A and B are shown apart, each in its own frame.
Chain A
Amino acid sequence: MATSNPAPARRGSLVAPLMLLGLGVLFLITNLRPEISVWRLFAQYWPFLLIFWGAARLVEYTIARAASRPIARTLTGGEILLAVAICLVGHVMFVAQRGDWGVWRFGDRGVEILGESYDFPLPPSNIELPARSEVAIENLQGTIRVSGTDSRTMRIAGRKYIRAFDRAGAEQADKASGISVRKDGGRVQVQAGQGSLSGSRHISCELEITVPRDSILRLEGRNGDIEIRDMTASVDVTGANSPVRLSNIGGNVRVEVRRSETVQAEQLGSNIEVTGRGRDLDLTKIAGTVTINGDFSGNIRLAELARPARYTSSVTDLSFQKLPGKLEMDLGVLYAVNIIGPLKIQTRSKDVRLENFSKDVDISSRRGDIDLRDPTLPLASIHAETQNGDVSVALPSNAVFSLQAETAHGQIVNQFGAAVRVEEHGRSAQAHGGVARGEGAEIRLRTGRGSITLAKTGDVQAL
């Protein structure tokens, strides 16, 4: 194709003229034979135009090189512009001919809106369910609210939102999309209808679902808020990309999130397991065990946990027995008040502050201060170790303990007077004291660089 290039031009490419020619032929065909849907063909196959173009340029280059003829080395500005224009037009046409006009989405949050939003009511459906039915809700875009009731009827109602250029387009998309509800004995499956509410980003729904309280719920979703409340059986949420809120659930709860802004659960009667990635996490009033496995980059808030909890992320490992108070944690600080051990914290770089804690405590951190105050009596063992940071422990004056403290680079401040002996060697310092080892609570404090403070508070009544 490059062989007939006559001009000694620098832009010696035949591709652009060929494309113009093709475009002309295309328009001509549409005008003369309107029944042939060239647009549809273009909308489907335009990416191959780019591939063909690139391949043609490669061929041209090889031929020119073999013939030692001059050729433009790279794409010119005009050609790049043309390529971008083809991408834009082609993509918009592809989206348009697929039936769902509207948003053209580039990236996860950057949404370019080309149309308007139209909403359509969904025909409500009522289904009778036997006891302990399984209800699965899958792949629906949009907000889903599920609540349990005493009635045996499952009710689905809501609205559908469609982005489109005009009402006609929206109505067409409305007809093409829907929600399918299938019932098979004690199993109900609520799904996006064919080729609609799942794949398209231009159609979303807002569903209000009420189910018999004892149904077993399974939600498999992608985008949109999920809210579930007042259920007595287990709830399973997977693949959520969006906020998940749960309240008043009797059975075991499992939540697996991909990139959720927030996971919230309160008043759970049983165990909860949260895995995946997200930002904020808020668990309150959980009667069962709590297992969190994943990375949550925002604020983590735990409160009123009645049974053992464990949090494992790529930087932090935390476990304790019970949390009548609360625990707050973000990337830099872990703060807990009224927490019951045995408590174990292993973290990379966080300041750890505990107030009003009981039973054994074991903290190790690579970087960060450790501040422990007001343990309940009788005192249990305290191990705190950081490679870089200050360690400070405030104990009631009547606490019985044996102390071993050591800083490789720093000083030791002691408020317990003669009971504790501090020795300084150059930059390092050590302290020993209290009752004989093995008799009182064992306290071991160590820092690689930083000070150690042993502070005294007033007498505290033993519990």
Chain B
Amino acid sequence: MAAYFCGCARCTAGAITGPLMLITLGGLFAIDQFGRYRFHQTWPVLLILYGLMRAVAYMMPSHGDG
């Protein structure tokens, strides 16, 4: 394994948090522009997602499936 990379489930959850947040952010703004909900209404989704990802990362084994 390389120095900066850990394939364990916890690291995976941590690593994909950022990209998922980006996708959600883009999605919320797309809904803001094309859908019926405004961003100022939907932004808590970001908090929920972030909390969820942190919780998942916390619960995953740190040296699990590799």
Are A and B associated in one complex? yes
Where the two chains meet, the residues of A that have a C-beta atom closer than 8 Å to any C-beta of B are 10, 44, 46-55, 57-58, 61, 64-65, 68-75, 79, 83, 87, 90-91, 94, 105-108
| Contacting pair A44 B2 (CB below 8 A) | no
Please pick, from B16, B17, B29, the residue contacting A50 in the complex, using a CB distance under 8 A. Answer: B29
Complex: A108 Cα to B4 Cα, angstroms: 43
- Also in contact, A57 and B22, with CB within 8 A (given A94-B33, A105-B40, A106-B40): yes
| Contacting pair A51 B18 (CB below 8 A) | no
CB distance from B22 to the nearest CB of A (A): 3
Complex: A65 Cα to B4 Cα, angstroms: 11
| Contacting pair A48 B4 (CB below 8 A) | no
A contacts with B: majority SS: helix
A51 / chain B contacts, CB cutoff of 8 Å? 22-23, 26-27, 30
- Also in contact, A68 and B26, with CB within 8 A (given A54-B20, A54-B21): no
Which 3 pairs between the two chains have the least Cβ-Cβ distance? Answer: A50-B26, A54-B22, A54-B23
- Also in contact, A70 and B4, with CB within 8 A (given A51-B30, A57-B19, A108-B40): yes
| Contacting pair A58 B19 (CB below 8 A) | yes
Complex: A61 Cα to B22 Cα, angstroms: 14
Complex: A58 Cα to B13 Cα, angstroms: 11
| Contacting pair A68 B22 (CB below 8 A) | no
1/0 contact trace for B10-54 toward A, CB 8 Å?
Answer: 011011111111111111111011000001100000000000000
Complex: A273 Cα to B66 Cα, angstroms: 64
In the complex formed, the residue of B with least CB distance to A57 is: B19
Any A CB within 8 A of the CB of B59: no
A49 / chain B contacts, CB cutoff of 8 Å? 26
A83 / chain B contacts, CB cutoff of 8 Å? 22, 25
Complex: A90 Cα to B25 Cα, angstroms: 12
- Also in contact, A46 and B29, with CB within 8 A (given A70-B3, A71-B5, A105-B40): yes
Complex: A49 Cα to B26 Cα, angstroms: 7
In the complex formed, the residue of B with least CB distance to A60 is: B19
**Other 15 A-B pairs with CB < 8 A, given A48-B26, A105-B40:** A10-B4, A44-B33, A47-B33, A49-B26, A51-B26, A52-B26, A55-B19, A70-B5, A71-B5, A71-B15, A73-B11, A83-B22, A90-B29, A106-B39, A106-B40
CB distance from B53 to the nearest CB of A (A): 10
A52 / chain B contacts, CB cutoff of 8 Å? 26
A58 / chain B contacts, CB cutoff of 8 Å? 16, 19-20, 23
B22 / chain A contacts, CB cutoff of 8 Å? 50-51, 53-54, 57, 75, 83
B27 / chain A contacts, CB cutoff of 8 Å? 47, 51
In the complex formed, the residue of B with least CB distance to A72 is: B4
Complex: A389 Cα to B63 Cα, angstroms: 58
Complex: A87 Cα to B46 Cα, angstroms: 14
In the complex formed, the residue of B with least CB distance to A76 is: B18
In the complex formed, the residue of B with least CB distance to A61 is: B15
A55 / chain B contacts, CB cutoff of 8 Å? 19, 23
In the complex formed, the residue of B with least CB distance to A43 is: B33
| Contacting pair B2 A68 (CB below 8 A) | yes
Complex: A105 Cα to B20 Cα, angstroms: 25
Complex: A49 Cα to B22 Cα, angstroms: 10
In the complex formed, the residue of A with least CB distance to B15 is: A73
Please pick, from B1, B15, B17, the residue contacting A68 in the complex, using a CB distance under 8 A. Answer: B1
Complex: A51 Cα to B19 Cα, angstroms: 9
24 A-B pairs with CB atoms under 8 Å apart are: A47-B26, A47-B29, A47-B32, A49-B26, A50-B22, A51-B26, A51-B27, A52-B26, A53-B22, A54-B19, A54-B23, A55-B19, A57-B18, A58-B20, A61-B16, A61-B19, A64-B5, A65-B5, A65-B7, A68-B1, A73-B4, A74-B14, A74-B18, A75-B19
B12 / chain A contacts, CB cutoff of 8 Å? 65
